[in-house]
């Protein structure tokens, strides 16, 4: 691999397509770092929720102000959002944050704030970044862009199996599929497939298979440069 230049691989796609876990695994295999842009949208939402007021009344300025204290901290293999010096941890994955995050993500000022944090974190490093618009808006020149998709039923089944630690029933999968399809609709405007992205449909792939495929693509691209 060319050790002199820094590299960016982007992985975008709809909700629950396995972007973050795949991106982390790809980064680990390559010895790179992972940046999860969704974690910043979630951290901004979390920070605003800790203040008063119902989400309907949130202004862009108030969300950006609440997020001012949030930054991305580099650790060995990934970046994590912190509030001041304190790690935010799993609080950003709560049901409440998930319910309000799409509203926050539609605010242009919040998008600009996230994009700046992500570009700053990536500067001079080899990174795998995941989100919705990393390959179109944030790193349009990235040499490898992945568009990661899977059938909504399969995304729901995987998410539930992980959450419940058992095999979910068809009724449970159906209810979760409905949630996922609704979140896809809420996020539709900010979820954009780059024209030069490689489509990876994971519906019939295991996670090791999809990771292997993306790692092979990344190695091919890096060697060519």
Interface segment toward ligand C5P; rule CB under 6 A; list 35-43, 53-61, 193-201, 209-217: 35-43
Is residue 133 close enough to count as binding ligand C5P by CB under 6 A? yes
CB of 122 within 8 A of CB of 34? no
Distance CA 203, CA 105 (A): 27
Is residue 152 close enough to count as binding ligand C5P by CB under 6 A? no
Is residue 37 close enough to count as binding ligand C5P by CB under 6 A? yes
Structure tokens, 51: 């203040």
Is residue 105 close enough to count as binding ligand C5P by CB under 6 A? yes
Distance CA 119, CA 138 (A): 7
Within 10 angstroms of residue 48's Cβ, the number of other Cβ atoms is: 23
Closest CA to 45 of 85, 7, 81, 5: 81
Is residue 139 close enough to count as binding ligand C5P by CB under 6 A? no
Closest CA to 147 of 223, 214, 209: 214
Is residue 190 close enough to count as binding ligand C5P by CB under 6 A? yes
The binder of ligand C5P chosen from 9, 25, 30, 42 (CB under 6 A):
42
Closer Cβ to ligand C5P, 37 or 222, answer by number: 37
Minimum distance, C-beta of residue 81 to ligand C5P, in the bound complex (Å)? 11
Closer Cβ to ligand C5P, 27 or 134, answer by number: 134
Closer Cβ to ligand C5P, 202 or 222, answer by number: 202
Q: How many residues belong to the site for ligand C5P (CB under 6 A)?
A: 15
Q: Is 46 helix (H, G, I), strand (E, B) or coil?
A: helix
Closer Cβ to ligand C5P, 102 or 177, answer by number: 102
CB of 88 within 8 A of CB of 82? yes
Distance CA 51, CA 37 (A): 23
Binding interface with ligand C5P (CB under 6 A): 15, 37-38, 41-42, 101-102, 105, 131-134, 183, 187, 190
């Amino acid at each position: 691999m060319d050790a002199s230049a820094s590299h960016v691989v982007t992985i975008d796609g709809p909700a629950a397509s396995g972007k973050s876990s795949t991106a982390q695994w790809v980064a680990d295999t390559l010895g790179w770092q992972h940046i999860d842009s969704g974690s910043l949208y979630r951290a901004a939402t979390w920070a605003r929720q800790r203040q008063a007021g119902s989400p309907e009344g949130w202004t862009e300025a108030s969300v950006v102000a609440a997020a001012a204290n949030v930054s991305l901290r580099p650790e060995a293999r990934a970046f994590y959002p912190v509030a001041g010096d304190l790690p935010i941890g799993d609080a950003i994955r709560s049901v409440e944050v998930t319910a309000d995050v799409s509203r926050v993500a539609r605010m242009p000022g919040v998008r600009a704030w996230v994009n700046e944090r992500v570009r700053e974190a990536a500067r001079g490093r080899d990174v795998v970044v995941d989100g919705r618009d990393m390959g179109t808006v944030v790193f349009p020149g990235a040499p490898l862009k992945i568009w990661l998709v899977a059938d909504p039923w399969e995304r729901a089944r995987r998410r539930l199996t992980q959450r419940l630690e058992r095999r979910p029933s068809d009724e449970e999968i159906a209810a979760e599929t409905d949630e996922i399809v609704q979140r896809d609709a809420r996020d539709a405007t900010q979820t954009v497939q780059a024209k030069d992205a490689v489509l990876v449909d994971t519906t019939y792939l295991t996670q090791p298979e999809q990771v292997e495929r993306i790692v092979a693509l990344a190695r091919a691209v890096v060697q060519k440069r």
